A and B are shown apart, each in its own frame.
Chain A
């Protein structure tokens, strides 16, 4: 148990504008399960991508020492040859192919010009047995459930002769039962001498399987905790490592004004998954926001926060909606239409600014006006003078750092992109802003400026719903906090009364109750 299998020394990796990893160290011993925990954006996945060669040698600094040798991987094949296999959070299986075909995809059995199908399927069946799957390897992947697909991924990794298995949030899409089965499988592998790294948000899983726990925060290693000490490591202890940072002056002060009347209210709001309609993503949620209020929604990833916000915004996510939406006291019949939502003065600022928020190939000016072209055009003809004036006004207001509003948004830093996204929605003149992780992946300075903008919006009488998985942010910015877990609101607290510990406790309580 004492031989070190993997050591990553002072790994530093920068993306344009952001330092994703700063001098990170990780030491994994042979035959252990090592958990990697941290908030979103702490750098867990980036670190594993460095390890597996997705970010090749040369794009980062620092050393990877594996099995006593310094390694310089230039792609995934290189790391897989040494037995380092990563299973990504999103399953990478081809649904129309059989289990066996999937397991040996890119790693085909047989000669260069002919695949040995007998060997493929017999080997595949053998590995399926070790992971506890009874299905034949000739079954198509699309016919088995997500839990079993995850097991196929593991069997696939075994087929690659894995020595160090990395699992990136393996249970994020599994239910309780499947998760437990998977974790038990990991423990049985450990007995056979396999080394594993697990990335997860679920802390009960960490204390269940992990031998050692390394905590990452803001791209640096905070600590490595041994789970086999005299006392078991408490979840509170891990949380402290994950979120415990300086709180002074990170949030601008806001003058507390009297809150206005309720501007938006939802009751018994239920949304089902668009692909698996039997699954409730948002389950009987009721909430309200007053004018001038900032309401925080805190929850871990997959809690259903984004789905809630998007379903309010013109039902842009989900199916089988039920529940009631009231705006200014009046029930609103919503159709599946984003433009309806905008007309009702609702704005949804997405967490995924590149995927769902901005047109990267267009300029700041074009992006700013996109959600409200009507305001700058007459008879659908755009008045470019007015458009320029608007873009410049918001550039000044939000301090977007760019010489020209004709700059392509794709060339801006994350913080500035986020400001453009905010500018676009502020220009749409909403009364209710649903801000989904508005500070994800941007640096501290830009975060502060975004917080100031949020405060200004509230001061102007807008209702702000702030969705975040950063506890300090929710605590520092909100008047009131809803705590969400597994699609439901599990608690509601006044910001003055809430603490990091009480919020986490609420989540843990609900998790155990289920």
Chain B
């Protein structure tokens, strides 16, 4: 190495110039976790003896199903963390409690929609209750939610009498579960053999790509929804780029177009993969709804702006006329609501509820946020980053199961990933100063 450098003195200089010119360092800093996700996926994809397994349609589907609660809870957690690194330790117990109430209600024959409303309502009420102590009485968030963590675990046990309660309500399971029936049905193709034959004939390209057997199962509705969603996404992005250009905002347009193209390709590819299996899982719909809504709230609304401002400098925000106490209250009431939703999804996936369900969920949500670049001191962090963080953890989990790593070691790896991710974050910020 040293010989080579000496032989070509201009080589180093040219490399540095190249790095400076294209801001490679800044690029790596900004997209560390995205690159890590790509690399990790690739490593599992190429794993000797298990090549390609990680990206099989069935595995993609179960990746989404298994991590639904992480996405939902981490969204709520992100809002709390934004206010100044505050976390909510109670969500795991709240998930279990809402699910316990919901399952018990359905077991005694309650209407599923009423049950869903009650579950969300309970979540919101618990969140608002804890938020009251945190925002108005100023009990430290850590302690208030630790209390909630114990209390609602206890209440779950009380409601369930210590036993598991199963869900028999098929409608509920179809909508919120992850079983065979919990997919958006293929409205556009009814599975009539004659029509299928015609479809195979018409789509010779598709047959060549995935084989005739898969084509007869191909979920056209899923593919259509995926395509439409991607087109909508492209339209929104293009509109944003154009309006930026009109306003003369100095953003690198080529970079945005590259990102846009990459995300679109990824979206189309995922829809295609899902279409090859059972179609669009219902949970993906709920996750997408939550993520989209909260990306909008954090980016576009006044309350979102207040979350960032309070975390960045609470005193300055208060002196700007923002009622900072209410911002805290909002964040905690909101995570309660989302814990209610996570309770619905958890019960749906498990087709019932056990008194120990939800344990450790809060930690998964917190880890996803921090791996996704949220600051432990608040004020910075994005929904998109959190998605990457949750996906990275999900892929590592799934990958380790596929390649057969001992379950005990999986937790060790999770811990290391969290530490390394936050270490990168802290170090890159220190360099700036």
Contacts and interface: CB of A to CB of B under 8 A. Distances in A.
Interface size classification for chain B: 20 to 34
A356 B315 contact: yes
B250 interface: yes
Contacts of A361: 308, 312-313, 375, 379-380
A428 B320 CA distance: 9
A348 interface: yes
Interface stretch (B43-51, B259-267, B296-304, B345-353): B296-304
Interface in A339-354: 339, 341-342, 348, 350
A358 interface: yes
Contact of B316 (A358, A373, A389, A392): A358
B243 interface: yes
B308 A388 contact: no
A338 B301 contact: no
Interface in A294-352: 313-314, 316, 338-339, 341-342, 348, 350
Determine which residue in B243, B247, B249, B321 has the highest number of CB atoms from chain A within 10 A of its CB, and name it: B321
Given A362-B308, A373-B302, A382-B301, A338 B319 contact: yes
A229 interface: no
A341 B323 CA distance: 13
B149 interface: no
B249 A358 contact: no
Contacts of B125: none
Nearest to B243: A385
A345 B310 CA distance: 23
A366 interface: yes
B316 A357 contact: yes
Contacts of B323: 339
Contacts of A314: 321
B320 A338 contact: yes
A51 B394 CA distance: 53
B305 interface: yes
B301 A359 contact: no
Given A361-B379, A389-B247, A338 B321 contact: yes
B315 A355 contact: yes
B318 interface: yes
Interface residues of A, number: 38
A357 B312 CA distance: 11
A380 interface: yes
Interface in A359-410: 359-362, 366, 369-371, 373-374, 377, 380-382, 384-385, 388-389, 392, 403-406
A370 B317 contact: yes
B249 A370 contact: no
Determine which residue in A362, A389, A404 has the highest number of CB atoms from chain B within 10 A of its CB, and name it: A362
A380 B308 contact: no
Contacts of A350: 316, 319
A403 B247 CA distance: 14
Nearest to A357: B316
A359 B250 contact: no
Interface in B230-261: 243, 247, 249-251
B343 to A, nearest CB: 28
A291 interface: no
A366 B312 CA distance: 11
A117 B380 CA distance: 46
Contacts of B243: 385
B312 A388 contact: no
A380 B313 contact: no
Contacts of B250: 403-404, 406
A369 B323 CA distance: 16
Interface in B254-283: none
Contact of B249 (A348, A357, A380, A388): A388
Contact of B319 (A348, A369, A405): A348
B327 to A, nearest CB: 13
A447 interface: no
B301 A360 contact: no
A370 B320 contact: yes
Nearest to A362: B312
A424 interface: yes
Given A338-B320, A359-B316, A370 B305 contact: yes
Interface string B370-384: 000001000110000
B112 interface: no
B318 A385 contact: no
A406 B249 contact: yes
B316 A388 contact: no
B101 interface: no
A326 B251 CA distance: 48
B207 interface: no
Interface string A392-435: 10000000000111100000000000000000100010000000
Determine which residue in A314, A342, A373, A406 has the highest number of CB atoms from chain B within 10 A of its CB, and name it: A373
Nearest to A341: B321
Given A361-B312, A362-B308, A384 B320 contact: no
Contacts of B342: none
A282 to B, nearest CB: 18
Contact of A382 (B305, B316, B321): B305
A350 to B, nearest CB: 7
A380 B303 contact: yes
A453 B160 CA distance: 68
Contacts of A366: 305, 308-309
Contacts of B63: none
Contact of B300 (A356, A381, A406): A381
B322 interface: yes
A339 B321 contact: yes
Contact of A370 (B301, B309, B375, B379): B309
A380 B309 contact: no
B302 A362 contact: no
Contact of A359 (B249, B300, B313, B321): B313
Contacts of A360: 312-313
Given A358-B313, A370-B305, A377-B302, A316 B319 contact: yes
A355 to B, nearest CB: 6
Nearest to A359: B312
Contact of B320 (A355, A371, A388): A371
A87 B249 CA distance: 49
A382 B312 contact: no
Contacts of A348: 319
B433 to A, nearest CB: 9
Given A358-B313, A360-B313, A406-B249, A384 B319 contact: no
Contacts of B315: 355-356
Given A359-B308, A373-B305, A424 B320 contact: yes
A385 B242 CA distance: 12
Interface of A: 313-314, 316, 338-339, 341-342, 348, 350, 355-362, 366, 369-371, 373-374, 377, 380-382, 384-385, 388-389, 392, 403-406, 424, 428
Interface pairs A-B: 10 shortest CB-CB: A359-B312, A339-B321, A371-B320, A342-B321, A380-B302, A361-B312, A359-B313, A361-B379, A338-B321, A370-B320
5 contacts: A350-B316, A355-B316, A370-B317, A381-B301, A424-B320
Interface of B: 243, 247, 249-251, 300-303, 305, 308-309, 312-313, 315-323, 375, 379-380
Given A342-B321, A359-B309, A361-B375, 18 more contacts: A339-B322, A341-B321, A342-B320, A348-B319, A356-B316, A356-B319, A359-B316, A362-B309, A370-B317, A370-B322, A371-B320, A373-B305, A377-B301, A377-B302, A381-B302, A385-B247, A388-B247, A405-B249
